[in-house]
């Protein structure tokens, strides 16, 4: 799909041949391009010559200062440095974009235009390029020019309001949820745009701009909420580990820890009732159907937890699974690494890294039967691929590269 196949590396995976110029830092754009790199795209990541991606400074670090978060998020990307705000930097960026399929950026709206790298500038040199723009609030609207981080989006999107227990304060997630969710929306939108350009109704052969905010993808996950508010003013409230629309669904205390359970239809609820030795719950008017169970969820959970507390997690899961109930343990990363299901699906790959040595990383997901993804290398050094790309692909001489370095452009 690249305009000049001579510059594209051969990779395995369904996106082999797709060339991506990644100008995004931090997480939202970076996670989208990581997944693209996992599945064969040639991702060239641009960082500022003096200040690398902030993820490079995240703990946890190795003894000699290499961020393990960066090793994961930067994997399968060739990293170069470039001062995009300089005239020569702009020229080099446009040269890179000339044969790119996709350009990712996540600067504050207006920044790329100020540098002469806005959509019009990009499409002037490559009309097929798809420009993916990630920002806090999107490219339009009264808040568009404000800076935005995922934490703010998690509050504005309604997510924090709905997360946590009803008698406690709203809770933020323990991961960069807004960024990671925006990354998934950006990835699927990018592939839609590629399809439209190359295949949709014969293919338009023209690129376009994809505008992704951090706030809207999270809000979109609350399907039905806008409709409920418009219908009768209903506003979702915090329900802890319970689900507002189905019961029983919770984390239950056991004799030695915790377990999860979800019984979202009548047959599964009846199996649970039989498994815990309380078939009378099936005939109890309070639990006659899902709507009644949601209304009387505290009483129902008390019946279930009175039973789970008398059993270890393993015992409770074995008994419930024997009745074909849907249950599971609560894992940490050590449990995940040792679990036979993860192991059977080869979810962990050992990679040789020049900075860390042999280290495990999560394998590409999901699995493909014919064109699987792969991990070629983990997050590289700052500017590690400068010579390869500037010299090998843009045909700059060694003297020109040295001059660019001395001028602070790369």
Q: Hey, which residues are catalytic here? A: 179
Residue among 19, 24, 21, 23 at smallest CA distance from 8: 19
Element at 376 (helix H, strand E): none
- How many angstroms separate the CA atoms of 298 and 242, rounded? 10
249-255 contacts, C-beta under 8 A, 24 or more apart: 250/301, 250/304, 251/330, 252/301, 252/304, 252/305, 252/308, 252/316, 253/305, 253/308, 253/309, 254/308, 254/309, 254/311, 254/312, 254/313, 254/316, 255/309, 255/310, 255/311, 255/312, 255/313, 255/315
Nearest Cα residue to 38 out of 376, 396, 388: 376
> With 0-12 CB in 10 A as exposed, 13-18 as middle and 19+ as buried, what is 392?
exposed
Burial of residue 126 (number of CB atoms within 10 Å: 0-12, 13-18, 19+): buried
Q: Say which residues have a Cβ less than 8 Å from residue 31's Cβ, sequence separation at least 6.
A: 73, 179, 180, 183
Half-sphere exposure of 330 (CA within 13 A, CB side): 14
Secondary-structure percent of the chain, ordered helix, strand, coil, rounded to 5: 40, 15, 45
Q: Name the strand (E) or helix (H) holding 298.
A: helix 297-308
CA distance 358 to 370: 27
């Amino acid at each position: 799909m690249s305009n000049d196949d001579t510059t594209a590396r051969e990779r395995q995976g369904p996106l082999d041949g797709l060339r991506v110029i990644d100008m995004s830092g931090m997480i939202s754009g970076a996670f989208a391009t990581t997944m693209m790199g996992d599945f064969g795209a040639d991702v060239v990541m641009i960082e500022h010559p003096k200040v690398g991606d902030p993820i490079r400074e995240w703990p946890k670090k190795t003894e000699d200062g290499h961020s393990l978060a960066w090793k994961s998020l930067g994997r399968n990307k060739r990293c170069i440095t470039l001062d995009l705000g300089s005239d020569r930097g702009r020229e080099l960026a446009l040269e890179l974009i000339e044969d790119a399929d996709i350009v990712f950026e996540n600067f504050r709206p207006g920044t790329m235009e100020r540098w002469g790298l806005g959509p019009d500038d990009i499409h002037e040199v490559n009309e097929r390029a798809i420009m993916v723009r990630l920002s806090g609030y999107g490219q339009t609207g009264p808040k568009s020019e404000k800076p935005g981080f995922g934490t703010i989006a998690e509050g504005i999107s309604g997510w924090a309001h709905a997360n946590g227990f009803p008698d406690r304060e709203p809770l933020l997630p323990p991961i960069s949820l807004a960024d990671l969710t925006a990354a998934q929306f950006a990835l699927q939108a990018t592939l839609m745009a590629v399809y439209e350009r190359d295949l949709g109704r014969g293919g338009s052969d023209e690129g376009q701009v994809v505008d992704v905010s951090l706030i809207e993808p999270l809000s979109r996950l609350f399907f039905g909420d806008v409709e409920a508010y418009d219908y009768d003013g209903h506003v979702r409230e915090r329900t802890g580990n319970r689900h507002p629309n189905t019961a029983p669904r919770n984390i239950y205390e056991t004799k030695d820890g915790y377990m999860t359970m979800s019984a979202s239809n009548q047959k599964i609820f009846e199996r649970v009732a039989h498994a815990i030795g309380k078939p009378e719950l099936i005939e109890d008017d309070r639990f006659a159907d899902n709507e009644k169970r949601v209304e009387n969820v505290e009483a129902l959970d008390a019946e279930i937890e009175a039973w789970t507390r008398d059993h270890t997690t393993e015992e409770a899961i074995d008994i419930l699974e024997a009745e074909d109930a849907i249950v599971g343990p609560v894992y940490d990363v050590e449990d995940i690494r040792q679990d036979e299901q993860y192991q059977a699906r080869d979810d962990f790959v050992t990679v040789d890294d020049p900075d860390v040595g042999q280290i495990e990383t999560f394998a590409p997901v999901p699995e493909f039967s014919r064109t699987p993804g792969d991990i070629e290398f983990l997050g590289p050094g700052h500017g590690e691929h400068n010579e390869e790309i500037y010299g090998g692909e843009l045909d700059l001489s060694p003297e020109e590269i040295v001059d660019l370095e001395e001028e602070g452009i790369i």
